[in-house]
Amino acid sequence: MERQYDLSGVAAPALGALASAGDAATLQLERGAAKGVVVAGERTLADDDSAGCDLAVNGVTKRFGPVTALDDVSLKVRSGEFVTLLGPSGCGKTTLLRIVAGLELADHGRVAVGGADVTRIPANRRPVNTVFQNYALFPHLNVYENIAYGLRARKFPAPEVDRRVGEVLEMLHLEEMPKRRITQLSGGQKQRVALARALVNHPDVLLLDEPMSALDAKLRAEVQLELRRLQRQLGKTFILVTHDQNEAMTVSDRIFVMREARIVQSGPPAEVYDRPANRFVAEFLGTTNLINAWRTNGTVHTELGNLVPRAHPQWEKGFLSIRPEQIIVRSAKPSSNGIRAIISEVIYRGDHLDVYVQPGNLHVRGLPRAGMKPGEQIWLELPARQLEALGE
Amino acid sequence: MSRAEAAPRVRRSHWLLSTIAGATMVFLYLPLVAVAAMSVNAARFGVAWKGFSLRWYAQLLHNQVVLQAALNTLILAAVSTAISTVLGTLLAIGLERFPWPRWMRRIVDAVVYVPVVTPDIVFAVGMLLAFEAVRQAMGGLRLGLATMIVAHVTFQISFVALVVGSRLATLGRSVEEAARDLYADTWHSLRTITLPLIAPGIVAGAMLAFTLSLDDFVISFFTSGPSSVTLPLYIYGSLRRGVSPDIHALSTIVFLVTVTLVLGLQLFTRSPKEE
Amino acid sequence: MNRLLVWYGELATTRKLTTRGLALLAVPLIWIVVLLVAPLGAMVAWSVASRAATGDIEWTFSLQNFGRLAGYDAFGWTKSYLVILGTTLVISTITTVITLALAYPLSFFIAQRRPARRYLWLTLIIIPFCTNLVIRTYAWMLLLGNQMPPALLAQWLHLIGPSEALYPSTLAVYIGMVSNSLPFAVLPLYTNVEKLDWAIVEASRDLYSRPMRTFFHGILPQTLPGLVTAIVLTFIPAMGAFLIPDLLGGGKSWMLGNLIQHQFGVSRDFPFGAAVSLVLTFLTMVGLLILRRSGDEVTFL
């Protein structure tokens, strides 16, 4: 497997081992290691079968003054995987990405790319590249020079620079505009240049820091699919930071949901959606019905009556959660978890109906059908295998 | 009256406003126009119009004292600008690009502002005292072009530092971080990203320094010596001795050079490069 | 404390960054401190020293230099220096008032132009200001001379005697001072007026209907920060004027600047000169404090 960087000079301590060596000594090592640099491969980006590398973050903590941005965060990303760090603003997801990029230094913990410890490797010697939130394109350079920047910084020979830049220009449909000034580009074009500027370096891991937040909704949807396609085609490891749950669902193999400096849940989109770990995740991903609940011995009580959740809860007081589309409307009383309800509001959405019922102000989503009118009495079934018992 | 159509950006001005604006312009430019007019008046004495002539301009070319003064002025402005642009840029980068504790930042800020806020005359006296102290301590220091250059640099540094500093501040971190992310080391990032991006600021700072040097009289007056007469000092001296018409020609030339400089400065600071 | 950190993408130790930063700052900072801050400090020492009859400086603490400025000397109280201080304050105040009276409407006029034209107007106002002060002042000496139209008009109106000139005179000093400080006042006022919320103006026009009240309630409060800035930026340089009273006043209306120049020049009374300089600097600082409290941001050029 070809490595872009020769990091072998760096002693890679076992993951999790804290940095005990003196800073100066560590830096010294890195300086020696950097001389190895760059093997310019003849293969193209698309069939670069070295593909991505795996990433391991172990016990990373980061404080900014009194604020804890990351609290003992660990995660593993497999080679060629597309993962998303999802969470509300201020949850530490961007800080985590910047620590992986080398633009922020963790107070504790380790980061390894492809098995090599990069914790004390400066950003300019890490085999990762970043697509920044505001793109951070160089306004005084044209599109071509922006993309070529990373190759030129590593003193690639001119023909190789030209070949690689041409390749990504084509891949991202930018063939028409290598000579354009950055200021003449639209938001979408800027975003593609930023992507090209990172990908041209064949990074082991590509980091994307909310790269679509500046695009309008329609374009964003297109770019998400494009990004997904690109990642499949290249087989690279992509790590995307976003606060948009739709985006996370669309592109990711796996989602890491973050909240207040910690990772609260990780898994494939369907798993995180269907089996949220707690109330926060259930509410953050999509919409859900939350029902206050309390437990006595083997029975779960709610103000809608006793209900049977998928798994028996450990808490005394908590919530039951069910997605609107998982509630089933019945004409007769179901065998279990049935609720007698009155329709309070019906909203026609074209492809589906949003129905709100009392008691509990439950939100039910279903196919348009006759007889759903405000004031109607209906039976609802909250199927046990989709009714999750959640803590706060 | 509808509120919705209130606040048009361009409004017709009241006649009183237009009159005041016009009068102010006349007030600002009339004396300069008078000087320009006199500079092409053939009359040797008095201000009566004796026909168009460029003889005073021609005469300037043969006036060794004026030519020397012009040369001194340019040397003073050019050398002091060169030194202050380098030092001011170092100061701005040194202040903006390092994780200084707040007290350090405050002290440096305060020092930078001292030359800006000190009244000209006090500044001049301060420089004079500094040179006097050096002379007494080491001897041999004579007031002249060198002391004037030092004095000019002292106030120019701050203005350059302020202009370059504000440019650096607007630059933000992200482009330099992007350069790092793209394998640039400190020197490469400075050379290919930071310096090109603050170049307009450096040029603007240098032009401001140059203009300030040309504009100065008081500080030059106090720190000059007999051998280092500049144009403003020459004109001031000749006002004492009695004015000859070539002063008009000289003033007009200086004015035109200033106009060119100011327009150049405007062109640079409002460069369309910024977004 | 030597700590590792990432700064602008660079992984470095605080010691390395501090060393590099100090290396950048050293020369310019030492330059300013040695040549300006130190002498200004020395001035404080000088101002409380005194000059012996021999002309040497005696380093005994006394406030007599400040006393002299207030009019007290060995022979009792005279008004001589107080007159200079008073003249300085009066000329600076009246200059400020006249300048604002011109600059205020002018800034409205400019703000009402089309954007491209605004820059033209501002440039037109800046250009004379960037021309050397000696030339500008001489230009007024020429224009106010006894054979030029303004003086001829004044002679014809019998405001001045036949074949007299309009300078040297206090009037000439005012004219010179006002033309010198106009750009200082126009720039901050314009910056302020440009941001003016016309909806508020329209609202108060609906409310009050009378133009004066509209002005006082709708416009003036909004332009107050710019006004304060303009006042300070006009008043402070006016206080330190030296060349204009020297040339256009013909020695009749001395200001503090002339007094300072005299002490460090002809009189060679450094302690008294230092005291006057300190008073001038003090007044300037007070003005700047007012500016920092309530003024507006101004950008020059």
Whether A112 and A210 map to the same domain: the answer is: yes
CA-CA distance, B243 to C247, in Å (whole number)?
13
Distance CA A34, CA B183 (A): 11
Residue B227, exposed/middle/buried by CB under 10 A (0-12, 13-18, 19+)?
exposed
Does the CB of B185 have a partner CB in chain A at under 8 Å? yes
Domain match, A360 and A324 both: yes
Report pTM: 0.82
Cβ distance C148 to B126 less than 8 Å, yes or no, reads no
Interchain contact B273–A (C-beta under 8 A): yes
C238: left (phi over 0), alpha (psi -120 to 50) or beta: alpha
d(CA A77, CA A1): 18
Q: Measured between CA atoms, how close is C262 to chain A, in angstroms?
A: 53
Do the chains contact at A123 and C13, CB–CB below 8 Å?
Answer: no
Which structure tokens are listed for A352? Answer: 């589906």
Predicted confidence (pLDDT) per residue in B89-107, tens digit? 999 999 998 999 999 999 9
Do both C208 and C114 map to the same domain? yes
Tell me how many degrees the CA angle A165-A199-A250 measures, rounded to the nearest 5.
135
State whether A137 and B182 contact (CB < 8 Å): no
Cβ contact (<8 Å) for A124 and B174?
Answer: no
pLDDT top residue among B76 and C217: B76
| For residue C168, cis peptide bond before it (omega within 30 degrees of 0) | yes
Would an 8 Å CB–CB cutoff place A104 in contact with chain C?
yes
Q: What is the CATH number of the domain that holds C202?
A: 1.10.3720.10
**Which residue from A62, A75, A92 is spatially nearest to A258, judged by alpha carbons?**
A92
Write out chain A residues lying below 8 Å of B174, CB-based.
132, 134, 136
Three-state DSSP class for A248? helix
Would an 8 Å CB–CB cutoff place A24 in contact with chain C? Answer: yes
Between B88, B100, B122, which is nearest C28 by CB? B88
Residue B270 pLDDT: 60
Number of Cβ atoms within 10 Å of the Cβ of C121: 19
Tell me the average pLDDT across B177-204: 93
CB contacts of C7 in chain A (<8 Å) are none
Cross-chain residue pair A23–C9, CB shorter than 8 Å: no
In this structure, are A323 and A348 located in the same domain?
yes
Confirm whether C300 is domain-assigned. no
Helix (H, G, I), strand (E, B) or coil at A268: coil
Question: Taking CB atoms and an 8 Å cutoff, what residues of chain A touch C10?
Answer: 122-123
In a domain, A174, yes or no: no
Residues A101 and A233 in one domain: yes
* CB pair distance less than 8 Å for B273 and A139: yes
Q: Do B176 and C8 touch (CB under 8 A)?
A: yes
Q: C164 CB near a chain B CB, below 8 Å?
A: no
Q: Are residues A270 and A291 in the same domain?
A: no
Are A254 and A359 in the same domain? no
Instruction: Mark whether A122 and A219 lie in a shared domain.
Output: yes
Task: Indicate yes or no: CB of C21 within 8 angstroms of CB of B98.
Answer: yes
Number of domains forming the structure of chain A: 2
- C-alpha A15/C-alpha A46 separation (Å) is 31
- The full set of domain ranges for chain B reads 57-269
Q: Which of C68, C101, C120 is the last residue of a domain?
A: C68
Residues C165, C201, single domain; the answer is yes
What is the per-residue pLDDT for A33? 38
Nearest to A204 by CA among A78, A59, A57: A78
Residues in CB range of B215: below 8 A, 6 or more apart: B258, C130, C131, C132, C133
Residues A267 and A295 both lie in one domain: no
Q: Do C11 and A103 touch (CB under 8 A)?
A: no
Instruction: Determine the Cα–Cα distance for residues B224 and B207; give it in Å rounded to an integer.
Output: 23
The label of the residue with tokens 């006199």 reads B38
Confirm if A356 and A371 have CB atoms less than 8 A apart: no
Measured CA to CA in angstroms, residue C263 lies from B216, B220, C136, C271, C282 at distances of: 21, 18, 26, 9, 18
**Alpha carbons A211 and A207: distance in angstroms, whole number:** 10
Quote the minimal CA–CA distance from A137 to chain B in Å: 7
Name residue, tokens 């006082």: C216
Nearest by CB to residue B184, choosing from A124, A134, A197, is: A124
Cα C230 from Cα C295, distance rounded (Å) = 9
Cα separation of A284 and A390, whole Å? Answer: 14
Task: Answer yes or no: is pLDDT of B275 > 80.
Answer: no
Question: Rounded to 5 degrees, what angle do the CA atoms B43, B47, B51 make?
Answer: 40
Mutate which of B177, B183, B197 to disrupt the A interface (most A C-beta within 10 Å)?
B183
Q: What residues contact C99, with CB distance under 8 A and at least 6 apart?
A: C178, C181, C182, C184, C185, C230, C234
Task: Give yes or no: residues C110 and C15 share one domain.
Answer: no
Across chain A, what does the average pLDDT equal? 83
- Give domain status of residue C301, yes or no: no
Q: What is the pLDDT of residue C296?
A: 52
Distance CA A27, CA A41 (A): 28
Backbone angles phi, psi at A63, to 5 degrees: -120, 140
Q: Which candidate, C142, C231, C232, C233, places its Cα nearest to that of C184?
A: C233
On whether both A269 and A302 belong to a single domain, the answer is no
Token pair belonging to A167: 């390749």
Which residues, at least 6 apart from A218, have a Cβ–Cβ distance to it below 8 Å?
none
ipTM confidence score: 0.85
Would you say A62 and A69 are in contact if contact means Cβ atoms under 8 Å apart? yes
Domain membership of residue A159 (yes or no) is no
Dihedral, CA atoms, C220, C222, C227, C230, nearest 10 degrees? -140
Residue A132 and residue B174 in contact, taking contact as beta carbons nearer than 8 Å:
yes
Kindly state whether residues C57 and C96 are assigned to the same domain.
Answer: no
Question: Of the candidates C22, C28, C38, which has its C-beta nearest B87's C-beta?
Answer: C28
Are residues C64 and C158 located together in one domain of the fold?
A: no
The partner residue sitting opposite A102, judged by closest CB among C2, C4, C11, is C11
The answer to the question of residue C246 being in a domain is yes
Burial class (CB in 10 A: 0-12, 13-18, 19+), C59: exposed
- Based on the fold, state whether residues C117 and C247 are members of the same structural domain: yes
Residues C108 and C251 in one domain: yes
Short-list A166, A162, A140, A137, CA closest to A152: A162
Q: Which residues are A294's β-sheet partners?
A: A301, A317
Q: Which of A274, A295, A327 is the last residue of a domain?
A: A274
- Return the residue in C132, C202, C246, C262 with the most chain B beta carbons within 10 A, the one to mutate for interface testing: C132
For residue C165, is it within any domain? yes
Tokens of A314: 């450990």
Given CB atoms, is C277 within the 8 Å cutoff of chain B? yes
For residue A202, what is the nearest residue in chain B, using CA coordinates? B182
The stretches in chain C having pLDDT less than 50 are: 298-301
Enter the tokens of residue C237. Answer: 């340089």
- Within this chain, do residues A32 and A85 fall inside the same structural domain, yes or no? yes
Question: What one-character-per-residue DSSP string does C282-301 give?
Answer: HHHHHHHHHHHHH-------
Tell me which residue of A295, A17, A209, C142 sits closest to B31, measured CA to CA.
C142
Interface touch C6/A103, C-beta < 8 Å: yes
B273 band by pLDDT with thresholds 50, 70 and 90: very low
Q: How far is B21 from chain C (nearest CA, A)?
A: 5
Cis peptide before C149 (omega within 30 of 0): no
| Residue B258 · residue B77 · CB < 8 Å | no
> Same structural domain for residues C235 and C276?
yes
A342 vs B45, which has greater pLDDT? A342
Is residue A280 domain-resident? no
Is residue A179 domain-resident?
no
| DSSP structural state of residue C159 | S
Q: Are residues A109 and A216 in the same domain?
A: yes
pLDDT tens per residue, range C135-146: 999 999 888 888
Residue B39 near residue B232 (C-beta atoms within 8 A): no
Chain C residues close to A27, C-beta within 8 Å: 4, 11, 13
Residue in chain B closest to C202 (alpha carbons) equals B6
Same domain, C152 and C186: yes
The CATH code of domain B57-269 reads 1.10.3720.10
> With the C-alpha atoms ordered B251, B253, B254, B255, is the resulting torsion angle positive or negative?
positive
At a CB cut-off of 8 Å and minimum separation 6, what does A202 contact?
A4, A41, A45, A48, A50
* Whole-number pLDDT of residue C111: 87
CA distance A37 to A3: 10
Q: A265 lies in which domain range?
A: 23-127+203-274
A31 lies in a domain? yes
Tell which of A149, A151, A155 to mutate to test the B interface (max B CBs under 10 Å): A149
Residue C205 or B249, more confident: B249
Give B-chain residues touching A100 at CB under 8 angstroms: none
Asked whether residue A224 falls in the same domain as residue A79, the answer is yes
The answer to whether residues C121 and C218 belong to one domain is yes
pLDDT tens-place values along chain A, 392 residues long: 333 433 333 333 333 333 333 333 333 333 333 333 333 334 455 444 445 578 999 999 999 989 999 999 999 999 999 999 999 988 999 999 999 999 999 999 999 998 899 999 999 999 999 999 989 999 999 999 999 999 999 999 999 999 999 999 999 989 888 899 998 899 899 999 999 999 999 999 999 999 888 888 888 888 999 999 999 998 899 999 999 999 999 999 999 999 999 999 999 999 999 999 999 999 998 889 888 888 888 888 888 888 888 888 888 888 889 998 888 888 888 888 888 888 888 888 888 888 898 887 888 888 777 667 888 888 888 888 888 888 87
- Domain interval for residue C55: 4-68
CB atoms within 10 A of CB C218: 22
Domain end call among A274, A298, A321: A274
Task: Domain count for chain C, please give it.
Answer: 2
Determine the residue of chain C that is closest to B32 in CA distance: C139
- pLDDT of A370 reads 66
Query: For the purposes of burial, counting CB atoms within 10 Å of the CB of C15, is it exposed (0-12), middle (13-18) or buried (19 or more)?
Result: middle
Inter-residue contact A165 to A172 (CB < 8 Å): no
Give the span between the Cα atoms of A102 and C28, in whole angstroms.
33
Residue B23 DSSP label? H
If asked whether residues C60 and C76 sit together in one domain, one would say no
Q: Is A194 exposed, middle or buried (0-12, 13-18, 19+ CB in 10 A)?
A: buried
Q: Characterize the bridge pairing of strands A82-86 and A254-259.
A: parallel
- C266 and C119 housed in the same domain: yes
Q: What is the mean pLDDT of residues B216-229?
A: 89
pLDDT value, residue C294: 63
Tell me which residue in C3, C6, C13 faces A104 most closely, judged by beta carbons.
Answer: C6
Which chain C positions have a beta carbon within 8 Å of A123's beta carbon? 6, 9-11
**Chain A nearest CA to C191, separation (Å):** 27
Rounded to whole angstroms, the Cα distance separating C22 from B266 reads 33
